[in-house]
Amino acid sequence: MAESRYTVHVNVAPAAYDVVIEPGLLRHLGGMFTKLTGSKKVGLVTDTNVARHHLAPALNSLNSEGIEVIPCVLPAGEEHKTLENVGKIYDKVLPAGIDRRTPLMALGGGVVGDMTGFAAATILRGVPFVQVPTTLLSSVDASVGGKTGIDHPVGKNLIGAFHQPMAVLIDPAVLLTLPERELISGLAECVKHDIIRDADHFAQLDTILTQALTRDLETLSALIAHNVTIKAKVVEADPFEKGERAHLNFGHTFGHAFEKVSEFGYSHGEGVGLGMVAASRLAEAMGLIDADSVQKIIGAIGAARLPVSGLKLDVQKCVAAMLYDKKVSGVKIRFVLPDRIGHVVIRDDVPPEAVAQAVASLRE
Ligand code: GLY
């Protein structure tokens, strides 16, 4: 067993599962899959980008265990997270004679994971699925917790289902070939988790982020394990987002608006990074948090090499875009705001002019 192997247990209904984090895991995927599922068949979903780097080792390993693989390679990119592409998964796996015990496997980032999970939730009214995330963003966030779905022209993730994976298998070595901007995008969620839940880890973030950006595998493995542990605890407490799971949306109401208004010129992580700056300034303006803590939050976001200023977007367009975010309740927008580092609150009584001011502060 590799020295840097971590296992995080996610204790959630209908069945608990493990998240295994181990550099080199992809080479042993077939053996792990057999042990986990006992199945001799799998629907393997990936995208054209991921296939270039990681499909061959995954296939080799699965084939060497005698597993029949039904491959489905989808086009890469958020714009392809559609019902049409979920239909392509149905079209590949249903004629191949799968049954209710045949798992789907998502080899890819959040888009592949969300679509594969949604297909798994709906095929034969539910088949198991295994997440094999290939980005930092999906390793620390989307692959854990069972949110699956697709986008609609009205907004992101508006169609979907909660369907927990039966396992999440993470090979941090895949991050060695991840484009820098995508690695940084994933770091936004890591900074977010510490701001909402862990002041002690936050205090060490500067050093950890510097090391992570050098792609030191031990640092990345430990960072993923830490973040999955936080995410698991939140999901265990509130699997269907009736309450505290919404804390994971810290920075996202602003961030989704920045992504949308920039027509995805900002990556998800960049939008969330700027969104966390705006939400923290908003919290300060409302007297919830002190200026020193806000400076520390902005410092950590900057240490992840995420933008913290220089927004070129129209402020009113950004505020209007927030009204269309799915986290709106009635006409009031709900904001997740820090009241100290390591702790957040949900508020729906935020003055609209304070929201606009927080967005405007990013232009400086
Ligand atoms: N990505 C937020 C959640 O899983 O709830």
Question: Which bin fits 39, alpha (ψ -120 to 50), beta or left (φ > 0)?
Answer: beta
User: H-type helices in the chain, by residue range?
Assistant: 29-37, 48-50, 56-64, 83-93, 110-122, 136-137, 180-197, 199-203, 205-213, 217-237, 252-261, 268-285, 291-303, 315-323, 352-361
Pick from 228, 249, 334 the residue to mutate for probing ligand 1's pocket: most ligand atoms within 8 Å of its CB: 249
Q: Are 105 and 130 in contact (CB under 8 A)?
A: yes
Mean per-residue pLDDT for 63-81? 96
Q: How many helices (H) and strands (E) does the chain have?
A: 15, 13
Q: Are 315 and 246 in contact (CB under 8 A)?
A: no
Long-range CB pairs of 327-336, under 8 A, 24+ apart, other chains included: 327/246, 327/249, 327/252, 327/253, 333/253, 334/246, 334/253, 335/253, 335/279, 335/282, 336/196, 336/246, 336/247, 336/249, 336/250, 336/251, 336/252, 336/253, 336/279
Residues 231, 247, 281, 334: which is the catalytic one? 231
Q: Is the pLDDT of residue 330 over 70?
A: no
Ligand 1 atom nearest 189 alpha carbon: 1
Mean per-residue pLDDT for 159-179? 97
- pLDDT for the residue numbered 187: 98
Which range (131-135, 144-148, 299-303, 326-330) has the least confidence? 326-330
231 is catalytic: yes
Mean per-residue pLDDT for 98-105? 97
- pLDDT for the residue numbered 333: 85
Nearest to 67 by CA among 92, 42, 89: 42
For residue 150, list its beta bridge partners.
159
% of the chain exceeding 70 in pLDDT: 97
- pLDDT for the residue numbered 331: 59
Which range (234-238, 310-314, 318-322) has the least confidence? 318-322
241 is catalytic: yes
- pLDDT for the residue numbered 344: 98
Mean per-residue pLDDT for 104-111? 98
Mean per-residue pLDDT for 292-308? 98
201 is catalytic: no
- Greater model confidence, 227 or 322: 227
Residues with CB under 6 A from ligand 1: 141, 145, 147, 241, 245, 248
Instruction: State in Å: Cα 111 to ligand 1 middle.
Output: 13
Q: Is the pLDDT of residue 339 over 80?
A: yes
Q: Is the pLDDT of residue 166 over 50?
A: yes
Instruction: State in Å: Cα 65 to ligand 1 middle.
Output: 34
Question: Which secondary structure element, helix H or strand E, spans residue 42, and what is its range?
Answer: strand 41-47
Mean per-residue pLDDT for 296-302? 98
Q: Is the pLDDT of residue 358 over 90?
A: yes
Q: Is the pLDDT of residue 2 over 80?
A: no
pLDDT band at 3 (very low <50, low <70, confident <90, very high): low
54 is catalytic: no
For residue 336, list its beta bridge partners.
346
- Greater model confidence, 156 or 89: 89
85 is catalytic: no
- pLDDT for the residue numbered 1: 43
- pLDDT for the residue numbered 155: 79
Q: Is the pLDDT of residue 154 over 90?
A: no
Mean per-residue pLDDT for 112-124? 98
Mean per-residue pLDDT for 58-83? 96
Nearest to 282 by CA among 194, 344, 356, 364: 356
Angle (CA) 62-180-54 rounded to 5° is: 10
Mean per-residue pLDDT for 261-267? 93
Ligand 1 atom nearest 147 alpha carbon: 4
Q: Is the pLDDT of residue 327 over 60?
A: no
- pLDDT for the residue numbered 144: 97
- C-alpha–C-alpha distance, residues 308 and 276, integer Å: 9
Write down the mean pLDDT value for the chain: 95
